[in-house]
Amino acid sequence: MSRLNDKVAIITDSGSGIDKEIAHSYANEGAKVVIADFNDESLRETVAEFQKEGLDAFGVQVNVASEDDIQRMVDDTWNRIIDINLTGVMRAMRKVIPHFVEQGGGTMVNMASISSLTGGRDDLAYTSCDTCSC
């Protein structure tokens, strides 16, 4: 198991240079990395590069001199986690269940990790998804 599995790292100015290398190291250790950079082109190229390597990354354009941008960066990061780990499961179930009703049945399997039984204080979005989707 990697040291940063299920952790989220927001790394500013990580579209290039040393901060990009730091983001790459975090991602290689299992972290979900947010490539936060003012330069939209650099952050998109970096995200694409990381994803091509199978790393979990997404980008947010941010001007760290702007408090509003900083708030949006954090909001976008946590909204993405909730959207993937919790809301995504719910949306899929809502779309499939009417077909089951129409056909008289069906089977849906939602996978969960041990977090659904043990909980966790560091990754509540992940834990709550596991709990509701069992």
> What are 16's two structure tokens?
């290039």
pLDDT of residue 78: 81
On whether residue 112 sits in a domain, the answer given is: yes
CATH number of domain containing 48: 3.40.50.720
pLDDT of residue 92: 84
- 2 and 52 both lie in a single domain: yes
d(CA 112, CA 114): 7
pLDDT of 119 reads 58
Whether 126 is catalytic: yes
Is 91 part of a structural domain of the chain? yes
Q: Is there a single domain that holds both residue 87 and residue 54? A: no
Quote the pLDDT of residue 17: 95
Instruction: Check whether residue 50 and residue 17 sit in a common domain.
Output: yes
Beta-bridge partner residues of 32: 8
- What is the reported pLDDT for 68? 94
How many independent structural domains does the chain possess? 2
For residue 113, is it within any domain? yes
Q: Which residues of the chain have pLDDT under 70?
A: 1, 111-134
The answer to whether position 72 is within a domain reads: no
State the residue range of the domain holding 5. Answer: 1-65
Within a domain: residue 23? Answer: yes
Options 34, 126, 129, 133, the catalytic residue: 126
**pLDDT value of position 41:** 96
Please state at what angle helix 17-28 crosses helix 40-52, rounded to 10 degrees: 30
